[in-house]
Amino acid sequence: MSFISDMERDRIYEEIEGKSFSKSRGGFFSKLLSIALLLSVGFASGSIYSTFTQVKVAEGSNSLEVNSSNVVDNTLSNSANDKNSLYSQTSLANVVDKTATSVVEITQYTTTQTYFNSSYTSEGNGSGVIISEDGYILTNNHVISGAEKISVRLRNGEEYEATLVGKDSKTDIAIIKIEATDLTPATMADSSNTLVGDFVLAIGNPLGRLGGTVTYGFVSALEREINLDSSTKNLMQFDAAVNPGNSGGGLFNVYGELIGVVSAKSTGYDVEGLGFAIPINDVKQVINDILERGYATNRPYLGVSLDNSSYSTGSPFGGGSIFDLFYSQVQYGARVSSVEKDSPADEAGIEVNDIIVSIGGAVVSSASDATSEIQNYNVGDEVEIGIIRNNRTYTKKAILAEYTGQ
């Protein structure tokens, strides 16, 4: 390859022959130096290229040749392997794979009579957690309360009709059963090991039509005293997003273990990130009781059905008349709508249409108040029941029996 032109070469020859040698001596050497530099750069470039394309690593008597393309490929391959290893150890997707098939969608149907002798069927939605391979499912009592029919949908889309095994209003727990086999039960954790700040996953059926939804967050607090249905419960607080329909679903830790049953969400215009779950340790014994006996043990029982009562203020008719509709209504007490034969209430002389206004001296303003007050006692306790009958007050004494689910 020529680095100078023919004209420039002839001029250099002329200078060498002496025509302008003295004047051009410095230029001649400069050009030789330039040529040398160009050749040096060429050789250096080749050396650099060789360095990047072929590297020798000597160790003892062995040597390893590595191509530059292989270096990149190996780096990417090692990076992918590292990511796969990390994924297998910590990815929440693995936790979901382990737990999501244990969570089901629940729909309960209730028939309501209207004033015109017609009826309509309404439905409610919730979630549940499979606790055995042969179809036992854990959920909230309030999810299935009053249901005439219960339907369960598995994650794979299969649907079953469920039967009620037992329930416990005190802990808000119920167990239902479907005729299925080879199901994936959840693994129950020791929830006493749960700490504030632990990462958790909530899986359920929000809005009753988004089954299998997974949300994540942290445990915000433990043993929160929350009043639900006029009953105080110690619940686990978390900030994973939950909505109506999540009730009865599972709250899982990062090991895929069930640490709680989603029970409630605090709602309001300016409320966000306040979910609550029943710690699984609080209901393990109740679950065993229901599976063995069909009911929770040591639950006090009065033996009445109740609804809310009201009277009209200022009414000259003393209440109970159609004319009372023209006066303001005030809710008070719990009206006895039925009394079970040979129950504690029956033996105490409580009758249908009696208004229970106090239990053990505590004022009762609604049916839920009465139910909650009874749960504060133990089986065998004698309790004074204050009632109103035909505008007169009475006190009845009842010895509470154990509820057996009948």
- Report the C-alpha gap between 160 and 158 in whole angstroms: 7
Give 97-137 as a DSSP string. HHHGGGEEEEEEEEEEE-TTS-EEEEEEEEEEEE-STTSEE
User: Which domain-ending residue is among 124, 154, 177?
Assistant: 177
Q: Write out pLDDT tens, residues 232-241.
A: 778 999 999 8
Residues recognised as catalytic: 142, 172, 247
Question: Which CATH number characterizes residue 363's domain?
Answer: 2.30.42.10
Same structural domain, 126 and 204: no
- Report the C-alpha gap between 64 and 289 in whole angstroms: 69
Residue 312: pLDDT over 70 = no
Same structural domain, 168 and 206: no
Q: Write out pLDDT tens, residues 68-100.
A: 333 333 333 343 444 344 444 457 888 888 899
- Confidence band of 229 (pLDDT split at 50, 70, 90): low
Same structural domain, 307 and 216: no
Q: Which two tokens stand for residue 36?
A: 């040398």
User: Which domain-ending residue is among 282, 313, 338?
Assistant: 282
Same structural domain, 215 and 269: yes
What pLDDT sits at residue 20?
40
SS3 290: helix
* Residue 119: inside a domain: yes
Is the overall model pTM greater than 0.85, yes or no? no
Closest CA to 265 of 336, 174, 198, 204: 204
Q: Which two tokens stand for residue 140?
A: 């909230």
Question: Which CATH number characterizes residue 144's domain?
Answer: 2.40.10.10
**Which residues on adjacent β-strands are paired with residue 301?**
401
CB 174 within 8 A of CB 139: yes
* Residue 290: inside a domain: no
User: Which domain-ending residue is among 177, 205, 234?
Assistant: 177
What pLDDT sits at residue 49?
39
Q: Which two tokens stand for residue 212?
A: 């299998």
Same structural domain, 261 and 327: no
What pLDDT sits at residue 236?
93
CB 124 within 8 A of CB 107: yes
What pLDDT sits at residue 25?
44
Same structural domain, 350 and 315: yes
Overall domain count for the chain: 4
Same structural domain, 127 and 220: no
Domain containing 10: what range?
6-55
Label the pairing between strands 62-67 and 136-140.
unpaired
